[in-house]
Amino acid sequence: MRSDPDRLQFQIAARDGAARTGRLQLAHGAVETPAFIPLATRGSVRSLAASEVAGLGYELVLGNTFHLMLSPGPQRVAALGGLHRFMGWERPIITDSGGFQVFTLAHGRVADEIKGRRGRQPGRGTVLEIGEQGVRFRSYLDGSEQFLGPEESMAVQAALGADIALAFDECTPYHADRDYTARSMERTHRWLDRCLAWHDRQGPRRQAVFGIVQGGVHEDLRRAAAERVSAAAVDGVAIGGTLGRDKEEMRGVIGMTAPHLDGAAPRHLLGIGEPDDLVDGIALGVDLFDCAVPTRLARHGMALAPLPATRFRFDIRRAEFAADERPLVEGCPCPACAAHSRAYVHFLSRAEELTGVRLLVLHNLTYLERLVRGAREAIQRERFGDYRQAVLNGTPPWQGAALTPSGP
Amino acid sequence: MRSDPDRLQFQIAARDGAARTGRLQLAHGAVETPAFIPLATRGSVRSLAASEVAGLGYELVLGNTFHLMLSPGPQRVAALGGLHRFMGWERPIITDSGGFQVFTLAHGRVADEIKGRRGRQPGRGTVLEIGEQGVRFRSYLDGSEQFLGPEESMAVQAALGADIALAFDECTPYHADRDYTARSMERTHRWLDRCLAWHDRQGPRRQAVFGIVQGGVHEDLRRAAAERVSAAAVDGVAIGGTLGRDKEEMRGVIGMTAPHLDGAAPRHLLGIGEPDDLVDGIALGVDLFDCAVPTRLARHGMALAPLPATRFRFDIRRAEFAADERPLVEGCPCPACAAHSRAYVHFLSRAEELTGVRLLVLHNLTYLERLVRGAREAIQRERFGDYRQAVLNGTPPWQGAALTPSGP
């Protein structure tokens, strides 16, 4: 780890077991942790203006290096004053490295693997070559040849002006064997060194860099990666790669990784953010989470809810909600639940009206913001174990947060 | 005309030539006129929650009988407390009769006529029979057979609970000859009587009914229709049907109709709402306008602007805006222009991000709200001629509204 207060300061205010709550100070402001990070993949959080994302209580969003490098392009964004100014967002931004997206082009998604669709190529995007230097691929927008390696990724993230840049890594697929995963991890470590070298020479002075821990589901690899990345001159660590086949294996991977990380540095679990994953990750010492779930579910008519039996969600388009006058979730403080019925959101979602998607985005993002806020408060009061159990049992986050302090 | 202050009160506060400004009191509140009415076709104004429509300054929205009768259906909406409660909108609502939509199924749209696409049937919707009783057609949703006539239209509008219901009419196409147009107009008048008879017997006590003036582009027919509808027990009048091939012919049709209407009753010009049409219609004595233009343009990446040479709009997706840091329209008070650049909206619109559509909806609706607000103020100050000319010459509505009073 390096320590440069101009880039990043992380103060842990309270701990409860492995869980911790604190404050991450970045170039564009502070982020209370544990935090959920909404995706602003292509410069916007689905259907929301930046001011609305802030209005929901979020302090950090994640921009996507792969998509933004293809359009509008790093030079364009830089010329317009950087990603913050481009999207009208004044708070901190983290950008991913683009590694996940280019390797997804090559390897297919985990969901595709499980469903036997390995090798499907989305759109016109295709990987041409993976080598020590990086990845050659075709743009899904115009078929043009593109190259992304450690230096290129850092250069894009520098042009975007992110508060936190992620080092370029290979996200190994679940179907990769131990040998491939180990060799890939070693290359990811060499890439980390190149990222840090590039950043030292020409990265933005106030930009923090997180290294990424790979190693698949293998305990020895995860431990080696955690120690190797923690020993590098990074400002924080992200846990990436395949996290296993199911949630139990995912908890196992986090549990075999976190103890070997520098306890004083912030930890980001990449691409994870369902309600149970959040409380489980926080229990294992994770500080930051990003995930497409709240916005992607909204597009498919799904609302987050305190329903452990159905993965904390329900499909508002189901016929049973056509005349249901209750809000999406009783007691939810979001703008959709405050003013509208399930019947209305049901109708709008079935009719594919944009207002329906938007109401579900507002609901789902409010739900996760309340969930991590409740976690922070519970950790402060040393009641996180109860809070986690309440959430897992189906207590709404805003009720879980109101758990009374334990008596003497 | 009838006069029932429980249904509708219309007080004209000031006149300037044929233009007038006033206040329309309806069951759910007051509407300052002249007013533009956003379309809430299927229970929502594209991408907006009802509270946001009110926040933009709108006092009246238009719901669509044809679409809402097919889904969620009048019984469902009534069981949920009516359209106001269903969509969370507490201010007045006007509903169209469904006539325009069913006859568009049969006749094709004016745009289709002009483009030689007459007879194209959208989706699975098809007209099976047009007769004295009404129109038999197939639902575009499920292919089911449906019937809409004067009584059925009024029953749907009663179930929706609109503040203003429109009488059921045939919207004759531009290609119809004089003889067809005259016979159709007569039937529309018989349908008006049936609508009023049904409404007298079982319509909501506080619901106003507007009759519709047809007659195509024929002066004698328009005059006969204006007098016939004004003589009926309606609470206001809407000018419908084909308004000609171009804007000049449209102004001619309004000009041959308006003088024969009851001067004390509100007048609604159906389906018209481009910036020049608004000031021209107001100059001819129109009080209410509804139109899909602001929301439909937004979906196609178009922003309203003080640009008379290009129909008061521009396509933000054009390459020239890719690095343009100015707001959509300099000085515009909308949330999009206050916080975001053309470059950002350009990028979002090209990327088909929902946030782009939404920013353009907010801009376009703000633009028209400011335009009619400026017209009201100008009429109060007897400066409407100057205001109209300023708008037609390309002055932004918010500047036109600030025209200083003429000196002594």
Query: Quick count: other Cβ atoms within 10 Å of Cβ A53?
Result: 24
Q: How far is CA B226 from CA B212, B245, B312, B354, in A?
A: 8, 21, 31, 43
Q: With a cut of 70, say whether residue B111 has pLDDT above it.
A: no
What would the mean pLDDT of B230-234 be, rounded to a whole number? 97
Contacts of A322 (CB under 8 A, 6+ apart): A343, A346, A347, B72, B76
In tens, the pLDDT along A29-47 reads 999 999 999 999 999 999 9
Residue B388 near residue A81, CB atoms below 8 Å: no
Q: In this model, does residue A295 exceed pLDDT 80?
A: yes
B290 noted as active-site residue:
yes
Q: What is the mean pLDDT of chain A?
A: 93
Q: Are strands A61-63 and B9-16 parallel, antiparallel or unpaired?
A: unpaired
- Tell me if B354 and A357 make a contact (CB, 8 A cut-off): yes
Asked if B322 lies within 8 A of A76 by C-beta distance, the reply is: yes
| A77 has pLDDT over 90 | yes
Residues A291, A270: Cα–Cα separation, whole Å: 7
Q: Name the residue with tokens 């004016």.
A: B110
Q: Is the pLDDT of residue B296 over 90?
A: yes
Does B141 lie at the interface with A, CB-CB under 8 angstroms? no
How far apart are alpha carbons A203 and B157 in whole angstroms?
64
Q: Tell me, what's the pLDDT at A174? A: 83
Q: What residues does each domain of chain B span? A: 9-291, 299-396
Chain B residues lying within 8 Å of A140, measured CB to CB:
none
State the pTM of this model: 0.94
Nearest-angstrom CA–CA distance, A80 and A399: 44
User: Which of A48, A81, A348 lies nearest to residue B355, judging by beta carbons?
Assistant: A48
- CB-count exposure of residue B2 (10 Å: 0-12, 13-18, 19+): middle
Which of A44, A66, A345 should be substituted to probe chain B, the one whose Cβ sees the most B Cβ atoms within 10 Å?
Answer: A44
Poorest-confidence range of A214-228, A289-303, B126-140, B391-405?
B391-405
Instruction: Locate A28 and state its tokens.
Output: 């564009």
Q: Tell me the per-residue pLDDT of A369-403, one tens digit each, with 9 for 90 and over.
A: 999 999 999 999 999 999 999 999 999 999 976 66
ipTM for the whole complex: 0.94
Mean pLDDT of B281-295: 98
Average pLDDT, chain B: 93
Integer Cα distance of B273 and B369 in angstroms: 11
Q: What percentage of chain A exceeds 70 in pLDDT? A: 94
* Interatomic CA distance for residues A241 and A175, integer angstroms: 12
Task: Please give, rounded to a whole number of angstroms, the shortest distance from the CA of A3 to a CA of chain B.
Answer: 35
For every residue of B210-242, DSSP letters joined together read: EEEE--TT-HHHHHHHHHHHHHSS-SEEEE-S-
A50, B339: Cβ pair inside 8 Å? yes
Q: Which of B241, B211, B215, B216 is nearest to B229 (CA)?
A: B211
Residue A407: pLDDT band with limits 50, 70, 90? very low
On the CB side of A126, CA atoms within 13 Å amount to 6
| CA–CA dist A285, B16 (Å, integer) | 71
Would you call A290 a catalytic residue per the annotation? yes
Q: How far is A148 from chain B (nearest CA, A)?
A: 21
What CATH class has A9-291? alpha beta
The predicted structure's pLDDT at residue B104: 82
